[in-house]
Amino acid sequence: MTLYLIKILIFPGLLFLFILSLIGEYYDRKLYARMQNRVGPPWFQPVADFIKLLGKELIIPLNADARIFKILPVFACVATIVAYLYIPLFSKTSLLPFNGDIIFVLYMLTLPTLSYALAGWYSRSPYALIGSTRVLTQLFAYEVPLFMAVLAPAILASSWSFSELITFYQTHNWLWLVNILGFIVAMITLQGKLEKVPFDIPEAETEIVAGVFTEYTGPLYAYFRLAMNMQTIAGASLVAAVFLPFGFGSCLIVNFVIYILKIAFILFLLALMRTLFARLRIDQMLVFCWKYLAPIALAQITLNIIIKAWL
């Protein structure tokens, strides 16, 4: 029981995710800066920012619902942590595996986004309300293609379980390469879920200040930033487990190194997208997801069904 709690609270659970999320933020910001020919932040900047925000004054708007206003940042963090505990990192099974954990993780990673929308709504600020509307609109745009892309490999593996999916693709060697279309859709929609350029529409600073987070200050804003950083790692881990199902051998040290390399590769692609593209309008986001990404994800599902019929 003690060992189990250590795994959940320290490694590879809460503390590990917290540290990795800060490292991931630094890596992402540094890559983004270098791609723009800038120096970028020092290695300790994410930690310094988090500590600084914890020491700032907490201001709650007069018209806001104070109780929900305070709960939502914590809820976003908890939902992301729970999702991370069910994703296999460097072994075939997660800390809390069960049949259907892929669906559960997708559901849990939706809750932080809903928390952002509710945060804007209960802030009672015009900028936050506009940001909240954009969060929900964007959610309806990318969520269906993301689900379709992630579930396509599971259909081929005939299982909604991470461990069975990984076992299937390890048994069939390079068959995971047929999921390349789904991987592309998953990467693009993950960028939308993380609300990064070109999908940073909900918090477009030149239009609506900081969107749903306009009224958040101090520790509560720090927790929201932490939730987004942890969601980045959890989302990258999900994509790695489903579309890059290798590096799950008998040596845990080698598996851990491969896991870190896979996360670094996915974060590199996300930073590259931020560098290459400008922000879209919300209507362009909707058209792009439903007109292009959803059909591509559907084509991946159709391809996997055809291949499955021949296996």
Residues 195-219, mean pLDDT to the nearest whole number: 81
pLDDT tens digit string along 168-187? Answer: 999 888 899 999 999 999 99
Residue 17 lies in a domain: no
Q: What is the mean pLDDT of residues 80-100?
A: 91
**Confidence at 199, pLDDT banded by 50, 70, 90:** confident
Q: Is residue 81 part of a domain?
A: yes
Average pLDDT over residues 91-110: 92
Tell me the per-residue pLDDT of 14-54, one tens digit each, with 9 for 90 and over: 999 999 999 999 999 999 999 999 999 999 999 999 999 99
Asked if residue 182 belongs to a domain, the reply is yes
pLDDT in tens, 288-311: 999 999 999 999 999 999 998 887
The answer to the question of residue 236 being in a domain is yes
Asked whether residue 79 is assigned to any structural domain, the reply reads: yes
Model pLDDT, residue 126: 84
User: Do the domain assignments include residue 184?
Assistant: yes
| Any domain includes 175 | yes
Average pLDDT value for residue range 242-264 = 92
Helix axes 180-193, 294-310, angle to 10 degrees: 150
What pLDDT sits at residue 123?
Answer: 86
pLDDT at 206 > cutoff 80 = no
Exposure on the CB side of residue 285, measured as CA atoms within 13 A = 28
**Residue 208: pLDDT band with limits 50, 70, 90:** low
122 part of a folded domain: yes
Residue 271 structural domain: 58-310
- Determine the pLDDT at residue 136: 92
Chain centroid, CA 124 distance in Å = 27
Work out how many domains the chain is built from and give that number.
1
The pair phi, psi for residue 194, each rounded to 5°, is -85, -5
Instruction: Spell out the residues 6+ positions from residue 31 whose beta carbon is closer than 8 angstroms to its own.
Output: 40, 267, 268, 271, 272
Mean pLDDT rounded to a whole number for the chain: 91
Mean per-residue pLDDT, 124-146: 90
Q: Is 246 exposed, middle or buried (0-12, 13-18, 19+ CB in 10 A)?
A: middle
